[in-house]
Structure 1
């Protein structure tokens, strides 16, 4: 996550923390030397932890597709899940 508290990924992570149900937060791997951006995805209050993780990963991958980005360090991964 970047240092801007209002960035989309910071807002998404705070929403993940606040969610009471099964939720997950996925983000691209970040290498400060190579990648200048971070893409993230969340799924809040899903029916199960597995469903939350699958949707968070899909949302993160959709961001990469939408912005036509490729990261040097790889795709998306689950960073936090409950």
Structure 2
């Protein structure tokens, strides 16, 4: 009696671990929902307007190689400029495009920032 009980328990534990293990394998293909390699923390001031927080959410939700670039946040400066590249062919291509986008924003809006554009996160 005990042996049959142990066999059923072992079989159900094995089946459960296989199910959970297989779902983990399927998620390894997509980068959606991950922050990737974070080089410095992305911080948005409360009450800030503009598209930087929207672009960061899009970056995190992106399924492919993506990058998010921004100027460093500092309480003494009023502005941060950002750039994003989503679903590029490679991580390096995404980083280059995001950096170029951020630098174009610096040229367009001539405001004082805490520093130059740099890659905040990439995946």
TM above 0.5, yes or no, is yes
The whole-number CA distance in structure 2 between the counterparts of 1:39 and 1:78 is 12
Structure 1 residue runs of 5 or longer lacking an equivalent are none
**Aligned counterpart, 2:69:** 26
1:54-75 CA-partner distances (Å, limit 9, x unpaired): 000000010000012342x321
The whole-number CA distance in structure 1 between the counterparts of 2:70 and 2:63 is 20
Supply the RMSD in Å over aligned alpha carbons.
1.6
Q: How far off is 1:2 after superposition? A: 2.7
TM-score (norm 1): 0.88
1:44 aligns with one of 78, 82, 86: 86
Runs of 4+ in 1 over 4 A off after TM superposition: none
| Structure (1/2) with the larger helix percentage | 2
Asked whether the 8 Å contact 1:4–1:10 carries over to 2, the reply is: no
* Matched pairs, number: 80
TM-score (norm 2): 0.60
Cα separation, partners in 2 of 1:65 and 1:4, compared to 1, 3 Å:
same
The whole-number CA distance in structure 2 between the counterparts of 1:26 and 1:69 is 17
| Structure (1/2) with the larger strand percentage | 1
